[in-house]
Every structure is written in structure tokens, then in C-alpha cells.
Amino acid sequence: ILGYLFNWGLFGVLNVQIYLYYLAFPNDRLLPKAVVYFVYILEAVQTILLTRDAFRVFGYGFGSTASLDEMAWIWFSVPIMSGIIGTTVQLFFAWRIYILSGRKWYIPAGVSLVSIVGCGAAIWVGVYAKILNHFIVITFTSILINYVKVWLGSTALVDTIITSCMVYILTSSRTGFTSTNSLLTKFVRLAVETAFVCSAVAIIELAMFVAFRNDSFYMCPARMLSKLYSNSLL
């Protein structure tokens, strides 16, 4: 149930962020606006689906072990939607690196490729989970475990690369003005903190999935991962 609570809480934070973005940047460029509102719509849909599943398990299905083991809409709301949202945010950051680096394409291209591979693995995990339809079967299916490793491993790798690039670009932009350097330091700290949290949660989810196959501990970070990406975008 903690995963649902964290998801709802982070969605509340996202609503505030969206409202502040709407007020502060009414004339923002089309691409950032499209990314922000696209991600927000996906997050709203995911929250609705997760709320439905939470009511199914802890409401009218309370006490039923069958409802705990049943996949329901989680196959779509967690791996597939998290993969799409995470990749959308990562591609946006890759575009920012491309612009800030003076349109050097090789690192953003590599980041984009790895991110898309991870998204493909996440979609495959969701589809295969739908076919299996039971958590107890999923956690002991070796081919699905391998795809989960690809999905979450590539997610953590991309976040690390994005963080490193943003830190390098921002620190290289330092000037002789104290106020400018102070602002850049804040940007560096923000970039490190947000990307580190996303990467850490992805690694924790993977570790829990592999280490605790008889339990569903991994579903707690899984249900909040996409919201962390959306929060980091804003």
C-alpha cells in the first residue's frame, strides 16, 4: 500500500508543479510545453488505473489472496507507462544536453538509444506480465527477469550519464561573476539530486525484484518511479 500512497503524494506535487509552470511560463516553446502536458496526461491516467487497482485489492477484495496475486491493470500502469514516461523525460534531457553542448550529437544520441531500448524492454515486460497474469508466476520467469534487468539497468545508466553531462556542461559554463556562478551551482545541485533519486529508485526496484522474489516489495518503488521522473522534469 506504500507504493500507492507515494504515487498519490507525488501526483499531488506534480499538480502543484504543473500549476506553477502554467503561471510562470505561459510563452514557453512548443516542445517543452508538449512534453510537460503529455507527461502530465499519462501520469493522470496512471494514477486513475493504480487507484482502481488499490480499491480492488484493499477495498472489495480485502483479505483475498487471489486479488493480491492478480495482475489486473498493473501490467499496463506500472511497466509500460513508467517506461514511456521515463523515456520521454530522458529524451527531453538528451535534447537539452544537445542544445547546451553546442549541438554535439554523439552523447545525446547514445543516451536516446539506450533509453529507447529500456522503453522497449519495459513494454515487453508489461505485455508478458499480462499474458502470465499472476505475480507469483512473473517473479520466477527467467526471461521476464532478464528484460526487467535491461529495463531498470538501462534506466539507471541513462540517468547517470545525463547527470554527468549536465554537471560537466554547467560547471564548464562558470564565469567570473559571483551571482552567475552561484546560480550555476544551484542548477548543478538540482540536476544531481533529481537524477540521483530516479537512478537510486530504479536500482532499488531491480534489487528488490531479484532478491525478494517471494514478496512484492519491489512494487513500492515501481509504483512511484514514473512520478519521480515527472517531478524531475519540472
- Residue 162, pLDDT > 90, answer no
The pLDDT of residue 177 is above 60 = no
Q: Rounded to two decimals, what is the model's pTM?
A: 0.86
Output the pLDDT for position 191.
66
| Closest to 204 measured CA to CA, from 189, 191, 190, 217 | 217
Domain boundaries, given as residue ranges, for the chain:
2-229
Q: What is the DSSP string of 165-216?
A: HHHHHHHHT--S-HHHHHHHHHHHHHHHHHHHHHHHHHHHHHHHHHH-TTS-
What is the reported pLDDT for 14? Answer: 92
Q: Output 64-73 pairs: Cβ under 8 A, ≥24 positions apart.
A: 68/135, 68/216, 69/134, 69/135, 69/136, 70/133, 70/134, 71/129, 71/130, 71/132, 71/133, 71/134, 71/135, 71/138, 73/49
Summarize the confidence of residues 195-206 as an average pLDDT: 81
Please compute, for residue 141, the number of CA atoms within 13 A of its CA located in the half-sphere on the CB side: 15
Split at pLDDT 50, 70, 90, the class of 72 is confident
Confidence bin at 41 (pLDDT 50/70/90): very high
> What whole-number distance in Å separates Cα of residue 16 and Cα of residue 226?
17
pLDDT band of residue 192 (cuts 50, 70, 90) is low
More confident residue, 177 or 5: 5
Whole-angstrom Cα distance, residue 173 to residue 79? 37
Q: pLDDT at position 173, please?
A: 61
Cα 41 from Cα 33, distance rounded (Å): 12
Residue 139 pLDDT exceeds 80:
no
Question: By C-alpha distance, which of 16, 85, 9 is closest to 46?
Answer: 85
